């Protein structure tokens, strides 16, 4: 059973993240629905500690009604305690994408929204400092209270911070 489930539209960079933080070798490509079945990987954290990450096929609007690869794979993250939402830095509307993802999870099973959530803006190597600052100002408003961060698998930026944040969420006292 995985600790962290990756949630995102197709092409968001989920499998790429899995490939850089674990030894898993998922298929990665620049088209939608590259991943057709879930992949699991073990993330090496500090001091030999580990946690499990699950990469599932991309979720699209209507997934709960069976669009795309839909419903079938959401059950693979149903028991994860933490969901990592991946939204690419070049998305037309980051907030909208987040809301669609959340809505699909809710329609699948409202209890999915009880899980801890972290939003990670992927492919942030495509942003310069100025654009990133502008986006942060917007996201602080859009995501009030929900933790978010920027990272890039390709440029290996923000990965330690991402793992730290996930580890803290997985190990928080309840």
Ligand X SMILES: Nc1nc2c(ncn2[C@@H]2O[C@H](COP(=O)(O)OP(=O)(O)OP(=O)(O)O)[C@@H](O)[C@H]2O)c(=O)[nH]1
Interaction pattern, residues 23-62, with Mg ion; x per rule: CB under 5 A? -----------xx---------------------------
The option from Mg ion, ligand X, none interacting with 126 (CB < 5 to 8 A, set by class) reads ligand X
Nearest to 82 by CA among 164, 163, 2: 2
Angle at 50 between CA 45 and CA 51, to 5 degrees: 110
What span, in angstroms and rounded, lies between the C-alpha atoms of 140 and 154?
25
Q: Is 39 an interacting residue with respect to ligand X (CB under 6 A)?
A: no
Q: Is 126 an interacting residue with respect to ligand X (CB under 6 A)?
A: yes
Q: Is 15 an interacting residue with respect to ligand X (CB under 6 A)?
A: yes
Residue whose CB is less far from ligand X, 28 or 91: 28
Q: Is 8 an interacting residue with respect to ligand X (CB under 6 A)?
A: yes
The count of chain residues that interact with Mg ion, using the rule CB under 5 A, is 4
Question: Is the distance from CB of 19 to CB of 40 less than 8 angstroms?
Answer: no
What span, in angstroms and rounded, lies between the C-alpha atoms of 25 and 15?
8
């Amino acid at each position: 059973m995985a600790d962290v489930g990756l949630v995102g539209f197709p092409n968001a960079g989920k499998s790429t993240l899995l490939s850089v933080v674990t030894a898993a070798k998922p298929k990665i490509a620049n088209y939608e629905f590259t991943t057709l079945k879930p992949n699991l990987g073990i993330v090496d954290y500090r001091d030999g500690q580990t946690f499990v990450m699950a990469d599932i096929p991309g979720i699209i609007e209507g997934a709960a009604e069976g669009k795309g690869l839909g419903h079938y794979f959401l059950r693979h993250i149903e028991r994860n305690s933490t969901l990592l939402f991946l939204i690419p830095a070049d998305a037309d509307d980051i907030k909208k994408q987040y809301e669609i993802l959340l809505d699909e999870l809710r329609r699948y099973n409202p209890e999915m929204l009880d899980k801890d959530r972290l939003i990670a803006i992927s492919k942030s190597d495509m942003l310069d400092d100025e654009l990133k600052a502008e986006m942060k100002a917007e996201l602080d408003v859009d995501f009030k209270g929900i933790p978010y961060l920027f990272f890039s698998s390709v440029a290996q930026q923000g990965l330690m911070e991402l793992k730290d944040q996930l580890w803290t969420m997985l190990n928080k006292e309840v």
